[in-house]
Amino acid sequence: MSLTNQEIKKIAQLARLELTPEEENRYAETISAVLDYMKILNEVDTENIEPTAQVTGLKNVVRQDEIKKCSANKQLIEQMPKVYANELSVPGVFE
């Protein structure tokens, strides 16, 4: 598959890239070579292969959000540089 310089210009515009004419020529050749190489994948027989999203066997662990008591609250508050009403006090970011 050979990309034209016009197609490269369009891709560059979509990516918000400014390319010189030399870069356009170089990228047209390079990207075309990569796309030609990827045609090898069309030769792979995938007829009896099930679609997969991942192959590690790991599963997402989902749990309910629960409020739990923190046993280190007092120790954490003691380490804070500025405390007000038993809470961390930080400078305001809004006027």
The pLDDT tens digits for 13-37 are 999 999 999 999 999 999 999 999 9
In 3D space, the residue among 40, 41, 42, 33 whose CA is nearest the CA of residue 1 turns out to be 33
DSSP SS3 for 74: helix
Domain presence at residue 38: yes
Please list the residues that pair with 87 across neighbouring strands.
Answer: 84
The model's pTM = 0.48
Question: Total domain count for the chain?
Answer: 1
Is residue 64 included in any domain, yes or no? no
Q: Provide the domain limits for residue 16.
A: 5-43
In a domain, residue 20? The reply is yes
Beta bridge partners of 41: none
Res 95 pLDDT > 80:
no
Rounded distance, CA 26 to CA 37, Å?
Answer: 17
Per the domain annotation, does 81 fall within a domain? Answer: no
